[in-house]
Amino acid sequence: MAESVPASGPRSGQVSGEDAGDRHEGERLQKVLARVGVGSRRTCEDLIAAGRITVDGQVAVLGRRVDPETALIEVDGAPIGVRPGLVHYLLNKPAGVVTTADDPQGRPTVVGLVPAEPRVFPVGRLDADTEGLLLLTNDGELTHRLTHPSYGVEKEYVAEVRGAPTRAVLRQLREGVELEDGPTAPARAALLDPSVVRLTIHEGRNRQVRRMCEAVGHPVLRLVRTRIGPIADRSLAPGSWRSLTTDEVRALAAAVATDPTAPPVA
């Protein structure tokens, strides 16, 4: 007589229906969102039900499963990095360090100041002589949006310049400066000291702040980037780095949201 098989429960070596679903269809969307800090699983379910989550450009529904390795998941139009192993570093770059992964001249690089694994890349560039905040990550989608000119992420700099800029000079910087590659977009400019200017721009032209200051007759003597979008850290020492918090990553993603008028994530 054949040995009977229990009517309930998986056979030895088999997986349950839900585990099989996870294997073949991916993970439940709310579980993935909760794991990367969007909110509790219940909060994430509410976001999905409200139509505020998209997967690969389509509005998600409750019960949706995703592959974190390949899915583009957005909350209110802001990309949320969910691929396992994503890291986001904030570095205070010292002068003399180049913004590249490798330098043929043998100069120190920003990549050499952060952990070697996983491999990361700088988001945008800072000149070798420019100091200050720089992001490094292996999050390709966030990098693309942060560096693409259409998203217009603000970058704030403090420049020590030659001479003492007048109100008229500050007005020039605010209204736009004519450069060899065309006029700059309006910027924010304020005088912190007689020879120290705080300049906030949202373009990403090569050596733009230095060229703007030189064009108005006040060449830069020292330049420090103090903010990238919503990210700033006055306590981070030159040459030091730290990982961004979950809230900071979400704030960066929100800064490059497709729809900047969308309500913030609950």
Residues recognised as catalytic: 127
* Nearest by Cα to 18 from 37, 33, 31: 31
Angstrom distance (rounded) from CA 100 to CA 109: 6
Strands in the chain per DSSP E: 27-28, 53-55, 58-59, 65-66, 73-75, 78-80, 88-93, 121-122, 131-137, 155-161, 178-179, 182-183, 188-193, 196-201, 220-228, 241-243
For residue 105, give both structure tokens. 């001249």
Q: What are phi and psi of 114, to 5 degrees?
A: -120, 170
Decide if 199 contacts 209 (C-beta within 8 A): yes
**CB 242 within 8 Å of CB 89:** yes
Which residues, in sequence order, are bridge partners of residue 54?
Answer: 59, 74
